[in-house]
Amino acid sequence: MDLPSLWFLLIAVLWIGYFLLEGFDFGVGILLPVIARDDRQRRAVINTIGPVWDGNEVWVLVAGGATFAAFPEWYAALFSGFYLALFLILVALILRGVAFEFRSKRPDPAWRRTWDVAIVVGSFVPALLWGVAFANIVGGVPLDADHRYTGNLLTLLNPYGLLGGLTTLALFVTHGAAFLALKTTGELRRRARVIGGRVGLVAALLAVLFLGATQIQRGGSVSMGLALGAALALVGSLLANRRDREGWTFVGSALAIILAVASLFAALYPNVLPSSTDPGFSLTIQNASSTPYTLSIMTVVALIFTPLVLLYQGWTYWVFRRRVSAEAIPEAPEPTAPPAPREAS
């Protein structure tokens, strides 16, 4: 395998890791007001991802950095053409991170409801827009001979792109429900199983439509096999959920996301950003990559540090592997009124 192909594969792995791990974070955030009925339950839901959500976001940072270093032309075209969509995703991620930190700073119910809304919005927007972005990356965007994007935001909101966004949104909600059923107890656990089964049916339908449309446009034998594997994994997840097998439900939704994203990258290869204007204007792994020397240095660095990062994140999940119970969370203190001003004597 040549170095550009190797780094295309590594970037695909990074995005798969991001969607796998951050996917259930987004799903949990979106389901917060649906599954949790009071403040203690909402705190329990947030606590399921509290120790890991920021570590999960590292994957997208590394994927962006790897794209910049390995395929600078690809990075430049993406961040110029998809600028507004990526900006909205960044704002949503910042809003969600701030909400996780600020929500507990005051016991006032109105304060906490405000940040709960921020968590939902900050989870919903990336879950939708990442799908729109990747659908357009695979489907192709208008590029000129200099590999410059000639469209606008509305160009990205085409039927195929919106279908991709709805697919990732439904998959992430299903994945989040599976995670909550695995990590909570009692009423939260029951509601998560019920919602996961219902949303999972919608996700399965959308995934079949989206992956089928992808195969019609750019599919090959490898991408088709991966897409079929994703569909089977999602069906297996739904069957496991009906049998109250939370572990296998989560494994099935995780495999569905892994195989679905892998099928998109397989359909994209050897392009990195196809041109809908003229196939000759497309960015490929060859005309978008850095020099062999740069890729060689990056490969050595990746071989050293990637195992360390994986070990650390695996250790984090092992430490926080136990279920979270709403009953074990103490009641929030009642908000106290500020002291009345003292009268001047």
Whole-number pLDDT of residue 131: 96
Average pLDDT (245-251) is 95
The residues pairing with 273 across neighbouring beta strands, listed in sequence order, are: 283
pLDDT score of 313 more than 50 = yes
CATH code (residue 161): 1.20.1630
Domain assignment present for 254 = yes
Kindly tell me the sign of the dihedral angle through the C-alpha atoms of 141, 209, 28, 335. Answer: positive
pLDDT in tens, 147-201: 888 888 889 999 999 999 999 999 999 999 999 999 999 999 999 999 999 999 9
- 271 sits in which H/E element: strand 271-273
Residue reference for tokens 């890729």:
295
pLDDT in tens, 106-116: 888 999 999 99
Domain assignment present for 326 = no
Domain assignment present for 342 = no
pLDDT in tens, 267-294: 999 999 999 999 999 999 999 999 999 9
- At 21, list the tokens: 């791990």
Domain assignment present for 339 = no
pLDDT in tens, 10-43: 999 999 999 999 999 999 999 999 999 899 999 9
Whole-number pLDDT of residue 343: 56
Q: Note the helical H segments in the chain.
A: 3-35, 39-49, 53-56, 58-70, 72-81, 83-102, 109-139, 153-156, 159-183, 186-218, 221-242, 246-268, 292-319
Domain assignment present for 341 = no
Taking residue 193's Cβ as centre, other Cβ atoms within 10 Å add up to 21
Mean pLDDT rounded to a whole number for the chain: 91
Query: Is residue 275 classed as helix, strand or coil in its secondary structure?
Result: strand
Query: Is residue 320 classed as helix, strand or coil in its secondary structure?
Result: coil
Domain assignment present for 270 = yes
- At 345, list the tokens: 């004597």
Parent domain of 85: 3-321
- Between the CA of residue 250 and those of 154, 165, 193, 317, what are the distances in Å? 35, 21, 11, 15
The total of structural domains in the chain comes to 1
Domain assignment present for 329 = no
Domain assignment present for 333 = no
